[in-house]
Structure 1
């Protein structure tokens, strides 16, 4: 009994099956998330703790070390790094890829609780943790600038209005506001004057707390109703705080303004944000896991007019970074390649079959297999990314093979005078097992990829499964839809008339066959020469494999450049801010740079800063020269921009700005300012301080490396 026979007898049911496969694939296509690469979640948890005023050594020994002892007992931790700065420490825990991140978070919380008794008693709060994915990068960045409003005022609008509105957008995961902090009143007392008046700092602090209380003042009770007495005691501006009485000296009131300087400022003055040379507040948006990056950014852009109307007209919005620009371009390029592949396959099939009726049959099988694969991708939670679309493009040549094999065998019977319907039954029955073995052998090639573990396995699993699904769906179509269409569309051999194109192509094929026959006879006549050439080609292939550059993942030109600023540990924040402005001015002069934003302070050390640069589209970064019959164009890549900026940035004294092209995939739980990181470990801090500079000096002598640095 043939597998195809029931489907040939029931053409309507077979058509409905094909239509259902087509419709499900089309619907799934519009619901598939779009990304640059398959989602690869690294189970990473970041832990942070702060102790204002503590030096880095104290933070490392008194805070980081007790926590690390407890974290080291958690199962599944394959990498643990920590970094301590003035007043803060951060610990990054990277777990095995198969470790559940929620279970790991519970273990981390338990370890923090266990280590609390070993931490300093004056720690302001318990260490906090958050789940982090180093593979994720900001998808959208809005810069707020104004010619009339202050940075704290812009931050207040961004934090209280914009961040909350953007967080509600479907697909948005986290929203951060960088560049400043909430408005606050800053009191800088004169300790000499306080000592002269006999007033302690605790007295001033108590007076401030008592004057800023917000609670009920009393109660009025009646026979039928009770009333609470309430009034606003909170103070909001420096002018309201200055007359505040903090104590009495010799019967005279001592006011806050008498013993110190009271100003309107911000809670954290050691933060700076810059956008295209102006002070700015940055709203940084991350997406939810698995969200469609393009749809998410489109929703944010649609919301921007409403956001602009929600704040003061004096605030100007600028899209400083849009990660979807390159994602859209790469996905569109792959989709175009996929369409061209389908068209070329159909043309090649027509060139050999030379009849429209016969060409229609495999031509329908190709898009039906590809579209049906989208339905399987949706069920498995995959996305439309470069690797999955590449798998679909590659499968174009595979999915047509099964249909052509079935079609060719059926046409062979038709040419021998068998009726079309009978030929469909006989041909499908004869070739069914062969088609099955072909598909199984193709899928078997991808089994090693499916079984591969680690990061590479996570990346290429979606590629292998997508390609295997396309081959499997093609097998189903070739055994069901293809023989059914043959029974309906093919004509008997006697009624088929050969046109001029058929006769011309037949003449070409005969000439090609003759050429191949003569070449084969020559090869068989000179076997030693053939064997020698084969060995030379094999040796050349091995040599080329040795000299070809190798790497984990090819470097991309995403149109984005990341920059990390590092200065000496004793650099003040004022000096750091000045260096940030100098760097920004240099970068903005480059003709390939479209926009640049930078920030320093906040959760990072005061001697460190970050830059985000958006380059102009690639076609605007090149020069073209017209030759005799063609146009020669040279495009400036992100690495070219970095190379020509390197020397210009070196003129800024006391700091270093390391630039690197932003990639869609980053590996490791700890971010650095370079493509590769080398970690030195020692139980003795003095040994590290001794050997780290020596290793760095040696690395700087290697011509293969550039931008060597140590943090």
Structure 2
């Protein structure tokens, strides 16, 4: 059956079919979303709970633990971590990739409700939750500055106006605001004046709460009119609170202003942000899952003039960070690489066939295959990203193979004197099964990638399916459009023109190369044992090289952006940290590669920690990689005592749910006993700090945050009529920045914050002047039943999997691979002999590498097994698939040698290259074996004569397809612009594998074919079955 025959006879229908594929693909191309990497929407939920003034230990024991126990009963949780700091707890829940996040969210809400009765009664609101994607970085950061407004007013503008407007932009997801907090009325009490008037803290709090209310008052109406009752029962500004009467004493009113300083200020004093040299409030914008990054950023930029118009004129709204330029440059470079690859493969066809008409046939077939792929990508909800575009670049060399095989076979018949129409019918029919074998086995390789599972499988799903679709469309085009064009286009070239000088030179060169190959092939067949030994040697060499090659997880991206953390020593105050951050800020801005720096200190990260976003100049301007910039900054930025600066390149894909990490890698210690954990963490930190493979060691611990420990004599307190609730309430009122009331506005809500005067609370001795009102109304000094002492305590408590957890973050030293670092850590920790009740695990990128590395050999074997099964089904043979698979060891050696000799690392991208080599290299063997079997069956040639003739007849298409695949990958290897760090490993693996496999498989494949043919005969003789080739014995 000749599948191509009806399409050759009906050129109009064939052209219109191809045009329809092109049109659908072109329309779909404009509808595809744009992203740096495929959609990796990890089902994750973050739960936040606040209890102002509570210590990290109290938050961990009374808030985090009850919530974790309740949340831990939810099915499908892969990881649950929590971080408790002063007054806040954040729990991050990562679910299995198959879990529906909306259904999980409902269960999270139910678990929070179930834990309600176990949470502290003083919580002003129940814990909240929201969905988020831990793998994605923000797409844009906006900065608000003003010479007139203070930062609380800027924060109010950002929260009340900008965040609400931006949330309405298509594609915008979560918006975080940092650098300050909302305006608030702060009541700063004077303990001496309170003592003078005999007023207790709770008395002041109750007076404020009762004076500021916003409740319904009803209405008055008569027969014809209706009046709504309104009153001035809500106090809005500090001036409204100052005359508030606390009590009457000696026939005189004691007002709030008599015992306190009341001013309009901020809700949280421990918060500050900046952009370059200016104090700033920052809006960090994330995108919704699946949203087009480029379109979302363009829509935000289009809204900026309108947003600037609705905020005060003194406020300057600027873009501090925008991911779209780097993404645009990366995708533009990938598209340029794709066009170069198409041009190179067309040149290969012209170089071998010597006719522009022949070269233009694949030039038409390739765009139809590639552009048509966009339509299926759109239907599958894929995006244009680095991996899908890499798939299309690689597909250029693969899809042209099909056109080359058909074109070359038809051209060979025309060169033999047949008419183009007859040659098209005959040539297309001859290679129909060959194309089917080549493409189905190739699809089997790529579909096996889907069985990787987990994060790796999700990451490469689009890559695999994009290639699969392109190959299947290519097979369709090669069996329809290509033979039709050959039948109607090649004849004019043959009848009207004589070969030109370039064509004659190419023909002579091909004849000489073919003659040389024939002589060397005859030598290899005569010395078949030596040739077979070389194949066995490559198999052994593969194992050796795979063990020796440096391994890592993913190539480090250069996104044009650095993430920085400033870790202050435990116990440092907010005021002390600010000048340290200022020194680092100036040092970063002084580097010639740095475009801008934005960041904030305080907030949920803690008062002694700062977060930075360092935006670099385009790589063409800075001329060095992001990692080189980090290495230079380590030496150039001044070292500040009491504060450590840590920088890492921002990555499009991040792993793990632990918040506030200062590096991509971490080693996590888990234990049921927090004291044991704190005893062993310094030992682990010191052991890792000694390793030359690691740098930027950052442990989640220190000497401890300074703490005041109150030792309460319960018996004395009870005798004086004071209970623990009274003591806690007084301390909360005095030192917790307690939010005691809410001011309701038409656009937002603001707090009334009460505390003692901050200048009074600068020293621990302030506790001696705190008085508690006993049950009988007496004023009892705190010092009469309690004593205080200084101590050290952690300023944060972490949990993972409901166990106490502490981590040591680290970066890899220069020229150190992830495998080497993991091995060094494992050895160092093993020498410490951790207690059996304590567990140490690798987190972040290091942990993901461990999981992926264990499965890599199995994934390669699975791909080989799948290909063997498909080929066995197609050829109805157990033997011939082994001949075809014998081409793969040399490709593996070539790929691994290329990585080692170039100083590269074997990553998941390199693993993709090996999968591609499995698909590409076996095509050569299929071309040989398919024709050899045909010659044995129909021309009654001996196995040696048939395989020799098949090798010579298929030599030209084999060289053409290999060169096309190699040149298609060459732009990936040579690219030096944005995104090259992701493409180069793939190009290196493919080019290296193809070079060596091309040199060896032209000789090893016919030898293996003959040896396995002899084995087939022996097996058939042993079974008593006739093994004539014409009978197609299934062995």
TM tier, smaller: over 0.9
Aligned to 2:501: 500
SS in 1 for 2:286: strand
Would you say 1:78 and 2:84 are equivalent positions? Answer: no
| Superposed counterparts of 1:619-630, under 5 Å | 619-622=620-623
Aligned to 1:662: 650
C-alpha distance in 1, partners of 2:58/2:219?
50
User: Deviation per CA, 1:662-699, whole angstroms, max 9, x where unpaired?
Assistant: 11111111142122111111111110110001110111
| Superposed counterparts of 1:339-350, under 5 Å | 339-350=339-350
C-alpha distance in 2, partners of 1:499/1:641?
54
Between structure 1 and structure 2, the one with the greater Rg is 2
Aligned to 2:676: 687
Q: How far 1:149 sits from its partner (Å)?
A: 2.2
Q: CA contact under 8 A between 1:564 and 1:610: conserved in structure 2? A: yes
C-alpha distance in 2, partners of 1:702/1:344?
47
Q: CA contact under 8 A between 1:365 and 1:478: conserved in structure 2? A: yes
Name whichever structure is richer in helix by fraction: 2
Q: How far 1:658 sits from its partner (Å)?
A: 1.6
Q: CA contact under 8 A between 2:583 and 2:638: conserved in structure 1? A: no
C-alpha distance in 1, partners of 2:90/2:293?
29
Aligned to 1:675: 664
C-alpha distance in 2, partners of 1:118/1:236?
35
Aligned to 2:631: 643
C-alpha distance in 2, partners of 1:426/1:419?
10
Q: How far 1:228 sits from its partner (Å)?
A: 2.2
Change (3 A) 1:134 1:409: same
Structure 1 range deviating more: 229-238 or 375-384? 229-238
Aligned to 1:584: 585
Would you say 1:474 and 2:462 are equivalent positions? Answer: no
C-alpha distance in 2, partners of 1:31/1:329?
19
Would you say 1:406 and 2:406 are equivalent positions? Answer: yes
Change (3 A) 1:218 1:195: farther
SS in 1 for 2:671: coil
Change (3 A) 1:427 1:647: closer
SS in 1 for 2:670: coil
The alignment yields a C-alpha RMSD, in angstroms, of: 2.4
Aligned to 1:302: 302
C-alpha distance in 2, partners of 1:542/1:180?
57
C-alpha distance in 1, partners of 2:278/2:553?
39
Change (3 A) 1:186 1:441: same
| Superposed counterparts of 1:548-627, under 5 Å | 548-622=549-623
SS in 1 for 2:604: coil
Would you say 1:705 and 2:706 are equivalent positions? Answer: no
C-alpha distance in 2, partners of 1:452/1:540?
25
Aligned to 1:378: 378
Q: CA contact under 8 A between 2:587 and 2:638: conserved in structure 1? A: no
C-alpha distance in 2, partners of 1:68/1:234?
39
Aligned to 2:221: 221
Q: CA contact under 8 A between 2:376 and 2:469: conserved in structure 1? A: yes
Q: CA contact under 8 A between 2:137 and 2:651: conserved in structure 1? A: no
C-alpha distance in 1, partners of 2:520/2:219?
109
SS in 1 for 2:313: coil
Q: How far 1:513 sits from its partner (Å)?
A: 2.7
Q: How far 1:642 sits from its partner (Å)?
A: 2.0
Q: How far 1:30 sits from its partner (Å)?
A: 1.0
Aligned to 1:242: 242
* Structure 1 unpaired stretches of 5+: 623-634
Q: How far 1:428 sits from its partner (Å)?
A: 2.5
Q: CA contact under 8 A between 1:49 and 1:126: conserved in structure 2? A: yes
C-alpha distance in 2, partners of 1:708/1:51?
32
Would you say 1:136 and 2:136 are equivalent positions? Answer: yes
TM-score (norm 1): 0.93
Q: How far 1:527 sits from its partner (Å)?
A: 7.4
C-alpha distance in 1, partners of 2:110/2:287?
28
Q: CA contact under 8 A between 2:179 and 2:271: conserved in structure 1? A: yes
Q: How far 1:529 sits from its partner (Å)?
A: 7.8
Q: How far 1:79 sits from its partner (Å)?
A: 1.6
Aligned to 2:178: 178
Q: How many residues align?
A: 698
Q: How far 1:242 sits from its partner (Å)?
A: 1.9
Change (3 A) 1:228 1:74: closer
Structure 1 range deviating more: 107-116 or 15-24? 107-116
User: Deviation per CA, 1:120-154, whole angstroms, max 9, x where unpaired?
Assistant: 22222222222221111110011112223211221
Q: How far 1:218 sits from its partner (Å)?
A: 6.7
| Superposed counterparts of 1:444-459, under 5 Å | 444-459=444-459
Aligned to 2:155: 155
Q: How far 1:297 sits from its partner (Å)?
A: 1.2
Aligned to 1:625: none
SS in 2 for 1:709: strand
Aligned to 1:428: 428
Q: How far 1:435 sits from its partner (Å)?
A: 1.5
SS in 2 for 1:706: strand
Change (3 A) 1:444 1:223: closer
TM-score (norm 2): 0.65
C-alpha distance in 2, partners of 1:300/1:440?
45
C-alpha distance in 2, partners of 1:464/1:148?
56
| Superposed counterparts of 1:75-114, under 5 Å | 75-114=75-114
Structure 1 range deviating more: 522-531 or 310-319? 522-531
Change (3 A) 1:12 1:528: closer
Q: How far 1:9 sits from its partner (Å)?
A: 2.9
| Superposed counterparts of 1:320-331, under 5 Å | 320-331=320-331
Q: How far 1:87 sits from its partner (Å)?
A: 1.6
User: Deviation per CA, 1:453-479, whole angstroms, max 9, x where unpaired?
Assistant: 011111112111111110000011111
Q: CA contact under 8 A between 1:242 and 1:256: conserved in structure 2? A: yes
Change (3 A) 1:488 1:494: closer
Q: CA contact under 8 A between 2:598 and 2:613: conserved in structure 1? A: yes
User: Deviation per CA, 1:233-284, whole angstroms, max 9, x where unpaired?
Assistant: 5433323332233332222222221110011101122211111132100011
Aligned to 2:127: 127
C-alpha distance in 2, partners of 1:14/1:525?
48
Aligned to 2:719: none
